[in-house]
């Protein structure tokens, strides 16, 4: 039977909180003793998902709430980043590399592509006007698991 650990985090949809989210998730994942590459990948996908929630989900309204849930089961990391913002009208289009709905902000349009390349699985659940949930999964190659 593998041990399970979890974390839940909520914060205001302010861009200054993106780095906080990266560090918090990195600290949580560190118990799996990931490689530097794995840790960098995870921090990057957290940044992408949180930034999407703030910029696209809440249209940079600082009154929104971004939620991150993390779960570790054995060597598997499960992350969910969620907002109750505007949702995505056309998910297929939004997942197209280089597409951005905010070209005036010089967005690269690579958020979902980066998440898909750095994680083993990425699922997006969205409803226009109700928000978006990005569920991600990654196996951490180091099998060392430390629970205190």
Catalytic residue positions, numbered: 48, 52, 107
**Residue at token pair 């930034």:** 51
Distances (CA, A) of 13 to 25, 37, 82, 119: 17, 27, 11, 24
Q: 3-state SS of 76-120?
A: EEEEEEEECCCCCCCHHHHCCCCCCCCHHHCCCCCHHHHHHHHCC
Cβ 131 vs Cβ 84: under 8 Å: yes
Lookup: tokens for 148? 């205190």
Lookup: tokens for 132? 């978006």
Cα(first)–Cα(last) distance of the chain, in Å?
Answer: 17
């Amino acid at each position: 039977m593998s041990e399970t650990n979890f974390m839940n985090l909520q914060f205001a949809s302010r861009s200054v909180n993106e780095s906080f989210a990266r560090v918090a998730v990195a600290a949580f994942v560190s118990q799996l003793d990931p490689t530097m590459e794995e840790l960098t990948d995870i921090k990057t996908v957290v940044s992408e998902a949180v930034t999407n929630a703030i910029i696209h989900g809440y249209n940079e309204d600082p009154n929104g709430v971004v939620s991150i849930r993390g779960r570790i089961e054995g060597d598997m990391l499960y992350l969910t980043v969620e907002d109750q913002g505007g949702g995505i009208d056309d998910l297929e289009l939004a997942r197209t590399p280089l597409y951005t709905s905010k070209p005036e902000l010089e967005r690269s349009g690579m958020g979902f592509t980066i998440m898909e390349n750095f994680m083993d699985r990425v699922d997006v659940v969205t409803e226009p006007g109700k928000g978006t949930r990005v569920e991600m999964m990654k196996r951490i190659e180091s099998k060392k698991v430390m629970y205190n």
